[in-house]
Amino acid sequence: MNSAARIEAFLEMMSAERGAAENTLSSYRRDLEDASAEIDGGLAAAADIRGYLDEIAARGFAATSQARKLSAIRQFFKFLYAEGLRGDDPTGTLDSPKKGRPLPKTMSEADTGRLIDRAAQEAADASLNDGDNLAALRLHALVEVLYATGLRVSELVGLPVTVALRDDRFFMVRGKGDKERMVPLSAKARMAMRAWLAARATVPAFADSPFLFPAASDSGYLSRQVFARDLKGLAARAGIASAKISPHVLRHAFASHLLQNGADLRAVQQLLGHADISTTQIYTHVLEERLVRLVNDHHPLAD
């Protein structure tokens, strides 16, 4: 690493030229002094810095902390190079520590069933003459279609009314990048859409709307925020912690439950509308769990 004087010069530059805040300067100081104490010699090489990063990783520092320390070291050596205090920048070839990708939040099949059953019960109790009951029929249709298709919430709320009018087992949806894909509709989802379509027809303001879920909004259809709020309320009434529920969680449940029950990862990629299989690979933990189950259940020596 380098002397305390050079660290002070770097910090002065960060303060005077870049207007770094006091907390930022303190953070740089801690990170650089820690690195300086660990890296021997004034002419640190890339291997020395990599060894230091490996050592702090072994000490249990999170990838985010490792990346922050490397950022401080990078800026420090760039400063030394720019000022002519070093003839090279040893950090140029170093890769940032990879951050672990968090697993998607999802729901168990049992909780998903409770949620949908609650929506179905509220819709069954609904009277078409009451606004609140209209909302119950709409929410049931939204939940059934979301779990049947795995649509993005923006794709779901903006569905054209023709999807319900055709009453087909499959329909085309236009997703990210203006790409179309085919998604399936379960029998229950089609029934829920038909019930909502009948209720929708009783509202004159909805008659000319091209959207399945029209609303008095700038877009002309139900907002994502309203659906998310209604979904959380439904979860609470079903005895499920509302903090754990969102439209995106139901989309993840769709994918996870398909994989748990034998679906192919590539097929799930197509259904979700992921352009790259690497995006779908966040679900590989589900495949791993399924493989363990298969071995434990069927291998003759598993016991």
Please report the pLDDT score of residue 127 as a whole number: 61
> What are 41-94's pLDDT values in tens digits?
555 778 888 888 888 888 878 777 888 888 888 889 889 888 888 888 888 777
Distance CA 215, CA 31 (A): 53
* Per-residue tokens: 2: 């380098």
Q: Which of 28, 147, 221, 283 is catalytic?
A: 283
Active site residue 283: yes
Q: Which of 140, 251, 252, 257 is catalytic?
A: 251
Mean pLDDT confidence for 275-291: 65
User: What one-character DSSP code corresponds to residue 252?
Assistant: H
Name the pLDDT band for 128 (thresholds 50, 70, 90): low
Query: Does residue 207 carry a pLDDT above 80?
Result: yes
Task: Specify the higher pLDDT residue, 132 or 179.
Answer: 179
> What are 209-261's pLDDT values in tens digits?
999 999 999 999 999 999 999 999 999 999 999 888 999 999 989 988 888 88
Active site residue 114: no
How high does pLDDT run on average in the chain?
85
Active site residue 188: no
Distance CA 191, CA 87 (A): 72
Q: Is the pTM of this model over 0.85?
A: no
Task: Specify the higher pLDDT residue, 95 or 89.
Answer: 89
The letter for the amino acid at 82 is A
Q: Which of 152, 190, 224, 232 is catalytic?
A: 152
Dihedral sign of CA atoms 235, 226, 274, 190 in order: positive
Active site residue 251: yes
Backbone angles phi, psi at 218, to 5 degrees: -60, -35
Active site residue 101: no
Active site residue 244: no
Please report the pLDDT score of residue 71 as a whole number: 87
Q: Which of 99, 176, 229, 285 is catalytic?
A: 176
